[in-house]
């Protein structure tokens, strides 16, 4: 797929301390021509510095890095450059890693065995501000972290949150359900309040953890 001449490439920073891994990821994400790797970082501290300076659309962040780990870097970026979307790409899928990254401000979480097409699509979705959780990560949340909850969502709230988990934007959800964007936003605000969270990604993770919605298919 070639990038349209009038559409700027999605600007990405790769943060991983292994050069061979960075090279491989770089080749994968740039294969279609609509994603550009503008810089690479070998430590969490360097990732924060580069992202604050360059303001990329997406930072692809590993979790285990020297100087400052991925969760710490995500937390710093959430304060210093909140418009930068951080997509975790790692080999670690334990509950504390996943929840820690999301709570710190990551917009999504993928494993390094993700298929190339899925990775490129995830970068595009993250650049658009959409929640990105790979199916293995979502399943892991359900399997390891499911617990009884007293939170009750209405059928419509569950439906909307399920579509959020599937990666749809508010506009896409509104079109799918034939309602206004304001209606979708209002339902999501009610969901955030009930779940005790502040954003879409945390709502999806919490709902998966508590068994309120099923993992994305």
Q: Residue 205: which of 98, 75, 58, 78 has the closest Cα?
A: 98
Instruction: Sort residue 211 into left (φ over 0), alpha (ψ -120 to 50) or beta.
Output: left
- List of the chain residues with pLDDT < 50: 1-2, 4, 148-149
**Helix axis angle, 155-165 to 181-195, nearest 10°:** 100
**CA–CA dist 80, 82 (Å, integer):** 6
Beta 58-61 vs 35-41: how paired, if at all? Answer: unpaired
Half-sphere exposure for 176 (CA within 13 Å, toward CB): 15
Give the per-residue pLDDT at 102.
Answer: 83
Asked whether the CA dihedral 146, 151, 155, 159 is positive or negative, the reply is: negative
Strands (E), the chain: 10-15, 35-41, 58-61, 85-90, 108-111, 132-133
Q: Give the alpha-carbon dihedral of 2, 59, 24, 131, to 10 degrees.
A: -70
Whether the domain at 10-142 and the domain at 147-209 fall into the same CATH topology: no
**CA–CA dist 69, 93 (Å, integer):** 15
Q: Nearest 5°: phi and psi at 65?
A: -140, 155
Give the per-residue pLDDT at 109.
Answer: 92
Looking at domain 147-209, which of 1.10.10.10, 1.20.5.50, 2.130.10.10, 3.40.50.300 is its CATH number? 1.10.10.10
Tens digits of residue pLDDT in 50-67: 999 999 999 999 999 999
**CA–CA dist 81, 52 (Å, integer):** 6
CATH fold for the domain made of 10-142:
Rossmann fold (3.40.50)
User: What are the extents of the domains in the chain?
Assistant: 10-142, 147-209
Beta 35-41 vs 10-15: how paired, if at all? Answer: parallel
**CA–CA dist 112, 97 (Å, integer):** 14
User: What global pTM score does this model have?
Assistant: 0.68
């Amino acid at each position: 797929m070639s990038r349209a001449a009038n559409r700027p490439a999605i600007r990405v920073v790769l943060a991983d301390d292994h050069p061979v891994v960075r090279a491989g990821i770089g080749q994968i994400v740039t294969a279609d021509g609509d994603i550009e790797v503008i810089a690479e970082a070998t430590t969490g501290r360097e990732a924060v510095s580069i992202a604050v300076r360059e303001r990329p659309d997406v930072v692809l962040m590993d979790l285990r890095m020297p100087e400052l780990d991925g969760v710490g870097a995500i937390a710093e970026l959430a304060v210093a450059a909140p418009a930068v979307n951080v997509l975790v790409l790692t080999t670690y899928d334990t509950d504390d890693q996943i929840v820690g990254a999301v709570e710190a401000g990551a917009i999504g979480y993928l494993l390094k065995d993700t298929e190339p097409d899925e990775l490129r699509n995830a970068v595009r979705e993250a650049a658009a501000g959409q929640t990105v959780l790979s199916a293995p990560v979502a399943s892991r949340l359900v399997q390891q972290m499911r617990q009884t909850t007293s939170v009750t969502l209405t059928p419509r709230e569950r439906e909307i949150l399920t579509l959020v988990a599937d990666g749809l934007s508010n506009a896409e959800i509104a079109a799918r359900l034939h309602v206004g964007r304001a209606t979708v936003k209002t339902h999501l605000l009610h969901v955030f309040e009930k779940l005790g969270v502040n954003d879409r990604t945390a709502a999806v993770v919490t709902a998966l953890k508590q068994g309120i919605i099923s993992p994305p298919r």
